[in-house]
Amino acid sequence: MAEPGTRAAEAAADRGWRLRHLPVLLIASVVLAAAAAVVGGTTRGADGALGAALGVAVTALSYTLTTVVLAWADARDPQLVLPFGVGVYVAKMTMLGAVMALVASTGWPGLIPLCLGIAAGVAVWTGVHIWWLTTVHARRARR
């Protein structure tokens, strides 16, 4: 069994651990955005393709921002994670709500594909993150 504090010391020595999963998630998001654009284009034309891909991009940008901010906060002081996490969440949801209301007011035909792209982005990001944690990260932690 490891000494108390050993894991914290190892984490401190490995500064990149907080962002190590990000490339895999971003690659999955790019693949999903391409697939969403094809489906959106096939079902709703150019506006559908743009809306679906943009929805996935919004999700990826949102989650990436959260990941980077929380990694920064955790690296400074773990007690900063909660206030920064809540602050980033409130700011993102406020901006997303405002943008969605603005887009909805224009009558743009890509709105529904945009919403579906956001939902697909959330599902895929979450699923890939769970996969990464239970396979890649779990294997690394056992070493």
pTM for this prediction? 0.84
Lowest mean pLDDT among 10-14, 18-22, 89-93, 116-120: 10-14
Q: Which two tokens stand for residue 99?
A: 């943008």
DSSP label of 3:
P
For the segment 73-109, what is each residue's pLDDT rounded down to a tens digit? 999 999 999 999 999 999 999 999 999 999 999 999 9
Q: Report the pLDDT averaged over residues 2-28.
A: 72
Torsion of CA 14, 19, 21, 26, to 10 degrees: -150
The mean predicted confidence, pLDDT, of the chain is: 89
For the cut 50, the answer to whether the pLDDT of residue 11 exceeds it is yes
Burial (CB < 10 A; 0-12, 13-18, 19+), residue 74, is middle
For the segment 108-135, what is each residue's pLDDT rounded down to a tens digit? 999 999 999 999 999 999 999 999 989 8
How high is the pLDDT of residue 5?
Answer: 54
107: left (phi over 0), alpha (psi -120 to 50) or beta: left
For the cut 50, the answer to whether the pLDDT of residue 1 exceeds it is no
